């Protein structure tokens, strides 16, 4: 039985680079959901306003299922900001990478995105949208948040490897930036 690890989190938190490094350690393949959807034409249209594909959820789920059923290696890593699209019966561990909103803001500014899109994603981080979405599908049990702020890539990968070895994460408190950061600072992303 393949062990399936999902890595979610808003854009910019480090999903792709962490998934790639983790895959090297585990000799696993990585599915990058956005690439998977484009390569397999699993979208219904392109939203020019938001510069993003509108995905065909049913087709995407079916294709992920097909990929998993044919997959033979010990580990598979699936990464993307809507990781909860992976049918839940396949998911062993679901990681959500969390990053300090102000660090995230600076990181996203390096992408050539407009301010509105950057703010939307920082707001999603402040509100913990990827975690909330995952909990609504999976419950809290298999979900592990990792605060990657001030952690280097190796540290993040090692933390994930430890949790995989353990089979579950130790701490179960979810991150709430609104209790840690002055609300005045967060306000500009939320309104
Ligand atoms: N822990 C980290 N420390 C420093 N830089 C990081 C870390 N994680 C990711 N990065 C950098 O942040 C940027 C975004 O990472 P990426 O993997 O593309 O994020 P995502 O796939 O979540 O959008 C990249 O330039 C990456 O090298
Ligand atoms: Mg990525």
- Interval 29-55: pLDDT, tens: 999 999 999 999 999 999 988 778 999
Architecture of domain 3-190: 3-Layer(aba) Sandwich (3.40)
Hey, how many other C-beta atoms are within 10 angstroms of the C-beta on 89? 8
Q: Is 49 in the pocket of ligand 1 (CB under 6 A)?
A: no
Binding site membership of 15 for ligand 1 (Cβ less than 6 Å): yes
pLDDT score recorded for residue 50: 78
Ligand nearest the Cα atom of residue 14: 1
16's CB contacts (< 8 A; 6+ apart) are 32, 79
pLDDT of residue 183: 83
Kindly give the number of the ligand 1 atom that is closest to the alpha carbon of 19.
17
pTM, two decimal places: 0.96
- Domain residue limits, the chain: 3-190
CA distance 170 to 184: 32
Residues 107-163 pLDDT 10s: 999 998 899 999 999 999 999 999 999 999 999 999 999 999 999 999 999 999 999
Q: Which residue has the higher pLDDT, 16 or 187?
A: 16
The reported pLDDT for the residue numbered 97 is 98
Residue 42 DSSP code: -
Q: What is the pLDDT at residue 34?
A: 96
| Ligand 1 touching residue 14 (CB < 6 A) | yes
User: What's the CA-to-centroid distance between 4 and ligand 2, angstroms?
Assistant: 18
Cα(1) to centroid(ligand 1), Å: 30
Q: Is the pLDDT assigned to residue 172 strictly greater than 80? A: no
Closest C-alpha to 5, from 65, 22, 150: 22
The residue whose CA has the least distance to atom 6 of ligand 1 is 14
In this structure, the residue with its CA closest to atom 8 of ligand 1 is 14
Residue 152 CA, closest ligand 1 atom number? 1
**% of the chain at pLDDT higher than 70:** 100
Determine the pLDDT at residue 118: 95
């Amino acid at each position: 039985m393949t062990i399936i690890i999902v890595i979610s989190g808003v854009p910019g938190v480090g999903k792709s680079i962490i998934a790639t490094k983790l895959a090297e350690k585990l000799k696993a393949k990585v599915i990058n959901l956005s690439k998977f959807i484009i390569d397999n034409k699993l979208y219904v249209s392109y939203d020019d306003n938001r510069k993003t594909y509108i995905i065909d959820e049913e087709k995407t789920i079916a294709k992920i299922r097909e990929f998993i059923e044919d997959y033979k290696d010990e580990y598979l890593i699936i990464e993307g900001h809507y990781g909860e699209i992976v049918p839940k019966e396949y998911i062993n561990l679901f990681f959500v990478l969390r990053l300090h909103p102000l660090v995230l803001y600076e990181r996203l500014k390096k992408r050539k995105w407009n301010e509105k899109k950057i703010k939307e994603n920082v707001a999603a981080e402040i509100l913990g949208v990827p975690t909330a979405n995952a909990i609504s599908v999976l419950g809290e049990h298999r979900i592990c948040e990792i605060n990657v702020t001030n952690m280097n890539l190796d540290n993040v990968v090692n933390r994930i490897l430890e949790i995989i070895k353990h089979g579950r994460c130790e701490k179960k408190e979810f991150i709430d930036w609104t209790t840690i950061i002055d609300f005045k600072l967060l306000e500009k992303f939320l309104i």
